Structure 1
Amino acid sequence: MNTYKLTAFEANGEKIIDEAIQAEHDEAAKELAEKLLAEKNLLDKTHRFTSPSGKLLLFHS
């Protein structure tokens, strides 16, 4: 399992969510991150999702 990092922010820079997500590979992790963002109604907020190697898998500003 790999540990990925999901972070979302308010417009003023306040951190809304800072979650670690465990997954076997990038695609599975990306699906989990998108699901979590949708559940918390954060898809329209600034967010980023990175892999353990620092690769940017999701980004919205």
Structure 2
Amino acid sequence: MPFFTLTAFDKSGEKLLDEMFEAVNEEEAKKIGEQKLREHNCYDKTHRCTSSSGKLILFHR
């Protein structure tokens, strides 16, 4: 199963969330990433989710 990295930042540049997780595919990774962002109150913060190959799956600025 591929690994994905989810990172969220505050406006100051402080890293609020930096977490790796596994997902079957990119679609599932996007859903898991959005769920984790909501759980950590980071959904409205700048965030990104990338695959282990470096592909950008989810991004918000």
TM-score, normalised relative to structure 1: 0.93
* Superposition deviation, residue 38 in structure 1: 1.0
- Uncovered stretches (5+) of structure 2, i.e. residues with no partner: none
Q: Which runs of 5+ in 1 are unaligned?
A: none
> For residues 32-43 of structure 1, what are the structure 2 equivalents within 5 Å?
32-43=32-43
Q: How far apart, in 1, do the equivalents of 2:17 and 2:5 lie? A: 10
* CA–CA distance in structure 1, aligned partners of residues 51 and 36 of structure 2: 16
Q: Distance in 1 between matches of 2:16 and 2:60?
A: 14
% identical equivalent positions: 52
- TM-score (normalizing by structure 2): 0.93
The CA deviation at 1:4 is: 0.3
List 4+ stretches of structure 1 deviating above 3 A: none
Distance 1:29 1:2 in 2: 9
Displacement after TM superposition at 1:41 (Å)? 1.4
Equivalent residue, structure 2, for 1:5: 5
What is the SS of the residue equivalent to 1:41? coil
- Give the number of equivalent residue pairs: 61
| CA RMSD, Structure 1 to Structure 2 (Å) | 0.7
